[in-house]
Amino acid sequence: TGNQYAYYHEEDETTFHLVDTARVQKPPHQRGRFRSNMRNNRSARGRNQRGGLNSGMTTLGGKNVKARDPRRGMGKKFGSRGVPPKIRESSVAVRSDWTSIEEMDFPRLTKLSLPNIKEGEDIITCGTLEYYDKTYDRINVKNEKPLQKIDRIVHTVTTTDDPVIRRLSKTVGNVFATDAILATIMCSTRSNYSWDIVIEKFGDKIFMDKRDNTEFDLLTVNETSVEPPTDDDSSPNSPRNLAIEATFINHNFSQQVLKTGDKEPKYKFQEANPFITEDEDVEVASVGYRYKKWNLGSDIVLVARCEHDGVLQSPNGEPQFLSIKALNEWDSKLANGVEWRQKLDTQRGAVLANELRNNACKLAKWTVQAVLAGSDQLKLGYVSRSNPRDPSRHVILGTQQFKPHEFATQINLSMDNAWGVLRCIIDIVMKQKDGKYLIMKDPNKPMIRLYDIPDNTFDSEDSDDGEGDDGEAFQPVYTYGNNKRI
């Protein structure tokens, strides 16, 4: 199977084409004359797109030039579509002492495939899950429910700070990550925004981490839309503020739809939540952790922490594990979207199709995480602002559920390709010398870049607090910010 996932980096320039979009200054005799009026002329526009009669026109000088639509330039006047795309910032500033090792462009990554990867095998399960409240399945637009603010701690611990992965790394596996990190890599070809992941190689072991104090765990909003949000940071509709809002909604929704309370039954895994300390007197979110391993071939054994958000009692008495996520509507007019309150009850397929266009990357990552965890259902909630201008109050308008593998097929997500992309990156890093590396999605091009970075890059000032045990499988230990209050 060695050649099925091999990534070949060709030294050619065929993948990218530079197109000069600057308007050429034409001679006076070519300006505006003999221009066919294409306003509201659909058939002409259709022929134009197919290279038909109006795809070009001959001027008095005998030169062939493209016909210009009289509406061209109006967007610039009114500051809409005519505005050039905003240059996005990189998730991390590339430093002068970093060495570029590899550039992996999306057109080639999408051709990779690593088939026949079996379901992951459980190693350890931890945590406690609450049961899903089925009354939320009956919510609709006419019977909406306010979204509550639930004060619970969510632990977003990176790979090398996870005590269970520390323990397992001594005896099991040689590639270690979390489901969120894996999903980011495996769905990378759907991403438009920049992101980065730190990789450390020690001998034949690889550890994948998120950086400290980054926005890695924030959920993007309309990332894959034709017109993604571009407002500045002072606006509630800026990309970052929308991401914070979406993350807030997602955390609260995933906890609100569960049956809470001391008298309610709970599903307990074999070990307790590994991130709760004895002196931590706070309420922790309902999360079940599965530490699983996958054989990726060629002596690559992946170990990852995966998560469930809730559990459901099936008719035969067996527990069904859930991944619970929330899609959110902010302002359908600004987002050029479908108004949920008009369409959700009668045309839910149209609403979901619109979300798949605007949030293809986010939905793919949720699906991959559900597949990796082995969730029986992916439960999606539709949450909207109570008022489009108020990002602080929200209502639940409906829910929908899918089987993760079936939903992956529906959204054209190939797990064979996802595994192929991951294996490609693992193979490239395995060939490098021991050290620290960083993979980053280019903020403005469809490609991933791999850098060799100095070993002390991103180290926290208190990373040498001495808490690590002697003989740990990796050094140094990162002290990342792990808790998120919702």
Global pTM?
A: 0.80
pLDDT of residue 231: 76
pLDDT of residue 429: 98
pLDDT of residue 82: 56
Taking residues 431-455, what's their average pLDDT?
Answer: 97
* Cα–Cα distance, 32 to 408 (Å, whole number): 50
Q: How far is CA 220 from the centre of its chain?
A: 7
Taking residues 64-70, what's their average pLDDT?
Answer: 47
| pLDDT tens digits, one per residue of 322-374 | 999 999 999 988 887 889 999 999 999 999 999 999 999 999 999 999 999 99
Residue 11 pLDDT grade (very low, low, confident, very high; cuts 50, 70, 90) = very low
For tokens 């035969």, what's the residue?
Answer: 316
* Cα–Cα distance, 473 to 97 (Å, whole number): 27
- For the record, the structure tokens of 97 come out as 């002492």
Q: What are phi and psi of 86, to 5 degrees?
A: -70, 135
pLDDT of residue 48: 43
Q: What are phi and psi of 326, to 5 degrees?
A: -130, 125
Per DSSP, 258 falls in state B
Residue 449 pLDDT grade (very low, low, confident, very high; cuts 50, 70, 90) = very high
Residues sharing a CB contact under 8 Å with residue 408, sequence separation 6 or more, in sequence order: 367, 368, 371, 414, 415
The Cβ of residue 410 has, within 10 Å, a number of other Cβ atoms equal to 13
pLDDT of residue 232: 83
Per DSSP, 145 falls in state E
- For the record, the structure tokens of 476 come out as 């140094």
pLDDT of residue 438: 98
| pLDDT tens digits, one per residue of 214-265 | 899 999 999 999 989 987 888 999 999 999 999 999 999 999 999 998 899 9
pLDDT of residue 74: 46
- For the record, the structure tokens of 248 come out as 């807030």
More confident residue, 1 or 129: 129
Per DSSP, 18 falls in state -
- For the record, the structure tokens of 271 come out as 């070990």
pLDDT of residue 81: 52
The domain ranges of the chain are: 28-78, 99-485
Q: HSE-up of 206 (CA within 13 Å, CB side)?
A: 26
Range with the poorest average pLDDT among 82-96, 202-216, 369-383, 391-405: 82-96
